[in-house]
Structure 1
Amino acid sequence: MSPERTPVEYTSVRELRGPLIVVEGVGGVGWDEFATITLASGERRHGVVLEVRDDLAVVEVLEGTGGMDPAGLRMAFDGRPLTVPVGEGWLGRTCDGRGAPRDGGPPVFGRTSAPVEGMAVNPVRRQPPGEPVLTGIAAVDVLTTLVRGQKLPIFSAAGLPHLELAVQIAAQATTTGERFSVVFAGMGLTHADAFFVQEALAERAAAGELCLLLNTADDPVIERILTPRLALTVAEHLAFDGGRHVLVIMTDMTSYAEALREVSAARGEVPARRAYPGYLYSDLASLYERCGRIVGQPGSVTVLPVLTMPAGDITHPVPDLTGYITEGQIVLARQIHAEGVYPPVDALSSLSRLMRKGAGPGRTRGDHLDVAAQLTAALARARQAGELAELAGESALSPADRRYLAMYPRYLHDFLHQERDRTLALDESLERAWRVLLTLPPGELGMLPTALLDARNSDGSPGAVA
C-alpha cells in the first residue's frame, strides 16, 4: 500500500451488518487499511478494513453504523493503516477508546504517528524481564511480585472489587530510579465506573504520569476492540522512544472478548468454543505479547490485564487462553471477599512465574523470597487443617494443625487486608508477613534460613540480613 495513493470514493454499499459495512466494486484495497466514510448529511466517520474478497471489502466503523443510509454513503480508502499520534502528549490526558478527548482539552498531537495494530516484540530482541514494579498492595508485592516487562493478569468474577484494585494499583504503582508512567484502558465500563476511575486517578493524571482511555458500555463495540491497541501503542512509544517504564492496565478483557465475538458474529464466521471466534487465542496473544523489554532499547512495557470469569469459571475461554499466554495470574476469591477482606487475593491460586527475576537480594530485600515461600507453605498447611477440621472436628487436629488454623485469620486481617486508599511500602508489607509467621512455633519455619531467624531474634529487623 502506498500512502501517496489518491483516494477514490466508492458509493456501492451492499449492506450494513451490525457495526460493519460491506462495499463492492473496490480495487487495490488491503487488509487493515484506514477508511473515511461520508454520510449524506456531511458527517464523517472512520473505519478499518477487516476483510477483502474479490471486489468486496468489509469495513468496521469505529463510531458505529447508527443513523447511516447505505444509499447516501461515500467511502474513501487512505492506502495506509489506522495510525495515531504518539509521544508524551498523552500523559495527563483522559480520552475515549478512540483517543478523542473526554477531558475538554484539544486533540492529542505528537511529532510522529504509529499504526494502532502494532506488532509483538521480536523474540530474538526480547530482553528477560527484571526489576520489580511495586504496586503498594501487600499480597501482590510480597507473594506475586510484578516484574518490569511481565504480563500478569488479574482473574476475578462479577461482584468482586477488581476495578477498585486495578485503580488502586494505577494510582500508586512505582518502580525505582527511573521515569515511570501508567496507561489505563477501561473497556465496557458503566458511566458510574468511568466517573469513579477518572476521579480516583485525577491526581496521578495531573502529575503527568497517567494516560486514561475510557470506553463505556454504550460506546460503539468497535471502539472497545480498538481501546487496548491504542493503549499499547501509546505505551510502546513512551517506553522504547521515551525511555520510560510503563505499566498498562487493561480492564475488562472479558468485555473486550465479547466485543470481538459480536463482530465475528456480524461477519458470519463459524464460531468456536462458547461462540467466541476461533482466533481468540491469537488475538489475545497479539495484545499481550506487545509488552516486554527490548535489547538495546530503554524502558519497558508491563501489562496487567484484568478479566472477569463468568460464573467464576476459570476454564472459560477468556481466562483459559489468557493463562496460556501470560506469566502467572492473581486470583480474587469470593470466600475471602465474604470475610470483609480487601483485596480478596487467593494466594494459593495466584502465581508470578517471573517473581525471582524481580525479587530478592539487590532488587527488593534479602529475606523477600524466603518469607514469601514460607508464608505460602504455611497457607497451604492452614488450608489442609481447615479441611480436616470440617471433616473430623477441630478436636481431632494435632497441636501444630491448630496453630496453623489459628494463624489463618491473622493472615487475612493482619497481612492481606488493607485500606483501599492506603499504599504499603514493601518493608511494611514484609513486616506484616513476619508478624503472621512468628505466630507459628520456630520448628514450623523450616523454609527460613537459620541465619535469617537468628538475625530477626537478635534485633527484630528482618532487613538486617538484606
Structure 2
Amino acid sequence: MRGVEYRGLTRIEGPVVITERSRDVGFNEVVAVYDRDEGRRLGRVVDMSEDWTAIQIFGSNTGLSAADSRVEFLGKPMQLRVGPGLLGRIFNGLGEPIDGYGNIFSSTCLDVNGLPINPYARTYPRDFIQTGISSIDGMNTLIRGQKLPIFSGNGLPHNRLAAQIVRQAKILNLGGGGAPEPFVVVFCAMGVKYDVARFFLDDFERTGVLANVAVFLSLADAPSLERLVAPKCALTAAEYLAYDRNMHVLVVMTDMTNYCEALREVSSIRGEVPSRKGYPGYLYSDLASLYERAGKISGSSGSITQIPILTMPNDDISHPIPDLSGYITEGQIVLDRELTQRGVYPPVAGLPSLSRLMKDGIGPGMTREDHKDVSSQLFAAYSKVKQVRNLSSIIGEEELSDADKRYLQFGERLEQDFLTQGEFEDRSIDQTLDLGWKVLASLPREDLLRIKKEYIEKYMNPFTAGAVLSPASEDWGSGGL
C-alpha cells in the first residue's frame, strides 16, 4: 500500500532535500523520491520542523528537479528482510542482495534501528572465546558477548588479524566438557576499497566459512549515506541470528573511521554545529547505539560478540574516534607500528591493549588455573622491558646492569616466541600459557612476584629443567613453535 505522496521539493542541498512539512511523518521514516527521468530513490527523514521536512537520499541527487520530483512517505522505518537464508549471502549497505540470487524468501522484516535491550535482561559475559592467537588469548582474552575493537593504523595488518579471528574463534565449553561451539559471522565493510572487500570474501571462501557468513558491503564508491545504514543492517541481521535462531554471532565491522567520516560529512551538510575535530556532538551516542547492540540476553542461548576495526588517524589513540570507542567498549586490541616494522605478527601492543572482561572469563573451569597469574606477570615484566629500552636508548646497552640486560633478552623472547605466530597457526590456550611459562623461565624466580609459588613449582620446573612437555599439554610444540 502506497503512502501519502507530495509533489515538488523546496530545495536540494547535496544528498539532503527539503520538502514541506506533512502530517504523520516520523523521524527515520523511509521516503521514496521519484523523478521524471531517474526513477525511484530511497531516503529517510532526518529532521523536521513545523514548516518543512529534511530527507537524506541514499545515493546521488543527479537528475533531481525541485519542480518535477515527487515525495512519498512510506509510513515505516527502514527495515531488513531476514530469514533462514540470510547466511551465505552478500548484501549492499542498504541490505539489498547483490550476489545475484534474488531476495530472501521470508516475510519477516525488522527495523534496522533495533530495539533497546533492557539492562535487567542482559546476562553478564563470562564464556571464554579461544581465538588461537596468543597475544589475545593469553593477555587480552575475548569473552562471548563482549565488544572488543581493534585499534589500528594505515598499512597495519588489521584485516589479516580479523580474518584469522573469524577462522579460528570458538567457544570451548571446558566446564561442560562439550565439543567446541563455532560462530556464524556477520561481516560489514564501510567505505573500504574493493581489494579489502575481496580479501575477506576470498578468505571466507578459501577456508570454507562463507556458508556461515552474512556479508554487507558499502564500498568506497558507494554514497556516504549508505555507510551510515550498513552497520545497522548488519547488526539487525546479527540480532535475528542470535536471539531468534539462538546462534553465536561474531560481528566484524571495518572501518569504523569511515563510518565516522560519513557522519561528519552528513552533519556538515545539515549545518549542525561541529564539536571536536569537526565531528558532531552526538558522535559518542551514535557509536554507542551500534556498540551496545552486542551482548547476551537471558532466555536466549545466542549471543553477539563485536570486533569493530578502526584505523586511528596519524596513529593517534587520543583522536575522537578511538577515544570515544574506548569509553564505550570493554577494552581494545592496539596494533603497534614498531612491532610491525620488526616483523612481529600479529603486532599487538602489550601495554595499551586491554580486555576489561578478561578477569571474569579465565581461571579454573574456563581456561586454566594459572592463566590470571601468568598474564599479570607477563604484563609487569613487559612494562619493565619498556623502561629498560628507554634507558638503553639514553645511556647505551653496554652501560646497563646485568639485571636490565636480562630484561632486554626477556623482551626479545616474548616478542619473538610468544607474540609472533603464523597467520594460519591456531594455538590452544594450553599452548599459549605454556609459551608464557617458557618465556618467564628466563627471569629469576625472585622477580616473579605476581605468580603463586605452587604454580611456579607445577608449571615452570619442566622448562627450567629443559623438558619439552608441560603438565597440561601433551602435544606442546606441535603448533608451529
- What percentage of residue pairs aligned between the two structures are identical? 45
Where does residue 14 of structure 1 map in the other structure? 10
The separation in 1 between residues aligned to 2:10 and 2:236, in whole angstroms, is 33
1:162 aligned onto 2:171: no
Letter in structure 1 aligned against 2:59: E
1:83 aligns with 2:79: yes
- Cα drift, residue 396 of structure 1: 3.1
Paired residue for 2:57, among 58, 61, 71? 61
Verify: 1:241 aligned to 2:250, yes or no.
Answer: no
Counterpart-to-counterpart distance in 2, 1:101 and 1:313: 37
* Cα distance in 2 for residues equivalent to 1:181 and 1:289: 19
What's 1:99 paired with? 95
| Matched residue SS, 2:31 | strand
Unaligned runs of 5+ residues in structure 2 are 173-179, 474-481
Structure 1 residue 131 corresponds to structure 2 residue 134: no
Q: Given the alignment, which residue of 182, 193, 197 partners 2:196?
A: 193
* Partner-residue secondary structure (3-state), 2:185: strand
Partner of 1:384: 387
Aligned pair count?
461
Q: What is the rounded CA distance, in whole Å, between the counterparts of 1:344 and 1:37 in structure 2?
A: 48
Structure 1: 5+ residue stretches without partners: none
**Contact 2:170–2:183, Cα closer than 8 Å, also in 1:** yes
What is the Cα-based RMSD across aligned positions, in Å? 1.9
**Is it true that 1:375 corresponds to 2:390 in the alignment?**
no
CA distance in 2, matches of 1:365, 1:276: 44
Q: How does 1:311-330 map to 2 (within 5 A)?
A: 311-330=314-333
- Cα drift, residue 462 of structure 1: 4.8
> How much has 1:266 moved relative to structure 2?
1.0
Which residue of the partner structure matches residue 463 of structure 1?
Answer: 472
- 1:215 matched to 2:218? The reply is yes
Secondary structure at the counterpart of residue 45 of structure 1:
strand
Matched with 2:46 is 50
TM-score by length of 1: 0.94
Whether contact under 8 Å (2:337, 2:347) holds in the other structure is: yes
Asked if 1 retains the 8 angstrom alpha-carbon contact of 2:38 and 2:63, the reply is no
Supply the distance in 1 between the matched residues of 2:431 and 2:98 (Cα, whole angstroms): 38
Tell me, in whole angstroms, the C-alpha distance in 2 between the residues paired with 1:391 and 1:146: 37
Give the secondary-structure state (helix, strand or coil) at the position aligned to 2:91.
strand
Between 396-405 and 300-309, report the one with greater CA deviation.
396-405
- The CA deviation string for residues 402-454 of structure 1, in whole angstroms up to 9 with x for no partner, is 11101111111111112223322222222222221112222222322222222
Q: What is the aligned partner in structure 1 of residue 418 from structure 2?
A: 415
Answer yes or no: is 1:351 the counterpart of 2:360: no
Question: Tell me, what secondary structure is at the counterpart of 1:208?
Answer: helix
Please point out which of 161, 168, 174 is paired with 1:172.
168
10, 34, 45: which one aligns with 1:38:
34
How far apart are the structure 2 equivalents of 1:205 and 1:41?
44
Residue 118 of structure 2 is aligned to residue 122 of structure 1: yes
Q: Distance in 2 between matches of 1:171 and 1:111?
A: 32
> Cα 1:68–1:135, aligned 2, differ >3 Å: closer, same or farther?
farther
So what's the TM-score if we normalise by structure 2? 0.91
Deviation of 1:235 (Å):
0.6
Letter in 1 for 2:445: P
Q: Contact 2:8/2:68 (CA < 8 Å) preserved in 1?
A: no
Specify the SS of the correspondent of 1:160: coil
Matched to 1:461, the amino acid is S
Aligned partner of 2:291 in structure 1 is: 288
